[in-house]
């Protein structure tokens, strides 16, 4: 779904006012049950639907009044009729706004959970298919000990799964309702205030807070943190695909449509457009999360300076994150993997990727520390076109260590696949166990 569509469905005027109305209906119904307002008033308010309200008038009124909720309450009051005088009884604007935001986050969370599960499944399938596909490992941008592509993808899946589990643990904290009145003490409702608050939250399917959180914005920030963590995990995957698609590497390729164009000037180009664009969106999520952190500085019982920032970053960080997941899922499900290129790259640069394996061959006769120094010194002789194992085999200082003629040999591959395969299998078990849990 396009970002603009998601934004409209979650944070557009109609969706927002519908959530405000749901709060006002729940408030009236609960207050009637406790004898605070007449039952007839609650029934009249409860019959209201968003189509009964003049949305244009609410929008225009908000511009004139420079206040979002007052025009909404006035319009709802008029639409209800005589019983409308009991609308918004004992509440305050921030209660309506906060509940509306939490309900929007809940709707977004349901979509995000669904999409993340599909992405997690796609990553698990990719890791399983390439459980035994060897490739060069890379550290500090240089060739390192060989790995398997399945092991790399398993690491991607594991990071994403950790964040999904982490938010499972705090979802109830985030999805908490609000009813505090003007200064958070529910003064108009008296001793019944906390009871009404709890019942309203229950009716809306939200948790009930112990205390009013008008200026304590940690719940909203925690959602922003979840978005940033998800985006960060996706951005790391996207960056890896971009780098492994480079011409001199050629191990991966994001899907490229039959009518897609990489460059207006160079017809051959198959640029990693999706992943590069995704990385740019992740950078924007990072910036929006930085803005979210500033909302912790609210003072007293209400601080409007917080909410101006929150109203800007919350829709953006949410909708950007929701848009990222299907994009990366499409890439993962259709990713081109060139296993032959991965194997060819193992032999590049004079098979230096096998230096760790060679280290332990020499260590059997010389000890590890001495072997490390001998191979480090011998490696200074390596140049393009030369072969590290041959250099070591011909080095008199390394004899009598036996340098294998074949790399990778059967035993070497078995060791790599034995460890990497076990890692992949454990992550796949974790993913499958998580998928079985009902959400």
CATH code for the domain of 241 = 1.20.200.10
Q: What integer pLDDT is reported at residue 3 of this predicted model? A: 60
- Among 310, 338, 366, the domain boundary falls at 338
The per-residue pLDDT for range 345-379, each reduced to its tens digit, is 988 888 888 889 899 989 999 999 999 999 988 87
pLDDT > 90 fraction of the chain, expressed in percent and rounded: 75
**200 in a domain, yes or no?**
no
User: Are both 294 and 385 inside the same structural domain?
Assistant: no
User: Are both 121 and 154 inside the same structural domain?
Assistant: yes
Q: Within 13 Å of residue 56, how many CA atoms lie on the same side as its CB? A: 0
Q: Could you tell me the two tokens for 162?
A: 């950790």
9 pLDDT tier (thresholds 50, 70, 90): confident
User: Are both 169 and 224 inside the same structural domain?
Assistant: yes
User: Are both 104 and 161 inside the same structural domain?
Assistant: yes
CA separation, residue 76 to residues 24, 37, 102, 208, 314 (Å):
9, 17, 21, 25, 26
Task: Give dist(CA 274, CA 376) in Å, integer.
Answer: 41
439 pLDDT tier (thresholds 50, 70, 90): very low
**437 in a domain, yes or no?**
no
User: Are both 180 and 72 inside the same structural domain?
Assistant: no
Any idea which residues carry the catalytic annotation? 263, 302
**396 in a domain, yes or no?**
yes
* pLDDT average, residue stretch 312-325: 97
SS percent in the chain: helix, strand, coil, step 5: 70, 5, 25
Length of the chain measured in residues: 439
The per-residue pLDDT for range 70-89, each reduced to its tens digit, is 999 999 999 999 999 999 99
User: Are both 238 and 379 inside the same structural domain?
Assistant: no
* pLDDT average, residue stretch 207-220: 97
Buried b (16+ CB within 10 A) or exposed e, 151-166: bbbbbbbbbbbebbee
Range of the domain at 79: 1-89
**251 in a domain, yes or no?**
yes
- Among 89, 108, 130, the domain boundary falls at 89
**194 in a domain, yes or no?**
no
Q: Could you tell me the two tokens for 409?
A: 């040999």
Q: Could you tell me the two tokens for 301?
A: 């019982």
User: Are both 215 and 283 inside the same structural domain?
Assistant: yes
- Among 32, 61, 89, the domain boundary falls at 89
User: Are both 137 and 282 inside the same structural domain?
Assistant: yes
Claim: this prediction has a pTM higher than 0.75: yes
The per-residue pLDDT for range 138-177, each reduced to its tens digit, is 999 999 989 999 999 999 999 999 999 999 999 999 999 9
**199 in a domain, yes or no?**
no
pLDDT > 70 fraction of the chain, expressed in percent and rounded: 96
CB-CB contact of 317 with 288 (8 Å): yes
Number of domains in the chain: 3
């Amino acid at each position: 779904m396009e970002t603009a569509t998601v934004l409209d469905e979650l944070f557009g005027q109609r969706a927002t006012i519908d959530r405000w109305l749901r709060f006002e209906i729940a408030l009236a119904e609960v207050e009637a049950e406790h004898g605070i307002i007449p039952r007839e008033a609650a029934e009249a308010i409860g019959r209201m639907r968003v189509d009964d309200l003049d949305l244009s008038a609410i929008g225009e009124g908000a511009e004139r009044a420079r206040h979002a909720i007052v025009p909404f309450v006035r319009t709802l009051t008029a639409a209800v009729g005589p019983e409308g005088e009991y609308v918004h009884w004992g509440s305050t604007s921030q209660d309506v706004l906060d509940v509306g935001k939490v309900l929007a986050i809940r709707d977004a969370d349901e979509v995000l959970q669904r999409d993340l599960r599909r992405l997690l499944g796609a990553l698990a399938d990719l890791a399983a298919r390439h459980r035994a596909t060897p490739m060069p490992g890379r550290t500090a941008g240089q060739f390192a000990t060989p790995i398997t592509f399945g092991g790399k993808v398993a690491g991607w899946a594991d990071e994403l799964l950790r964040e999904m589990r982490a938010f499972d643990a705090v979802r109830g904290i985030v999805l908490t309702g609000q009813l505090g009145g003007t200064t958070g003490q529910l003064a108009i409702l008296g001793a019944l205030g906390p009871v009404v608050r709890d019942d309203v939250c229950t009716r809306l399917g939200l948790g009930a807070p112990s205390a009013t959180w008008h200026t304590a914005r940690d719940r909203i920030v925690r959602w922003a943190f979840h978005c940033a963590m998800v985006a960060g995990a996706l951005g790391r995957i996207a960056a890896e695909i971009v780098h492994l698609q480079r011409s001199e590497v050629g191990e991966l390729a994001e899907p490229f449509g039959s009518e897609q164009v990489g460059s207006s000037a160079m017809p051959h180009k198959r640029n990693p457009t999706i992943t590069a664009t995704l990385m740019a969106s992740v950078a924007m999520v990072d910036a929006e999360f930085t803005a979210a952190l500033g909302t912790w500085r609210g003072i007293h019982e209400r601080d409007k300076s917080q909410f101006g920032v929150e109203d800007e970053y919350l829709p953006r960080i949410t909708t950007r994150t929701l848009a990222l997941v299907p994009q990366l899922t499409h890439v993962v499900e259709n990713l081109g993997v060139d296993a032959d290129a991965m194997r060819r790259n193992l032999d590049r640069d004079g098979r230096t990727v096998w230096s760790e394996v060679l280290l332990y061959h020499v260590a059997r006769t010389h000890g590890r520390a001495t072997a490390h120094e001998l191979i480090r010194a011998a490696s200074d002789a390596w140049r393009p076109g030369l072969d590290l194992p041959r250099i070591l085999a011909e080095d008199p200082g390394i004899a009598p260590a036996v340098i294998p003629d074949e790399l990778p040999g059967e035993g070497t591959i078995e060791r790599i696949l034995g460890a990497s395969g076990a890692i992949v299998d454990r992550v796949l078990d974790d993913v499958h166990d998580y998928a079985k849990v009902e959400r």
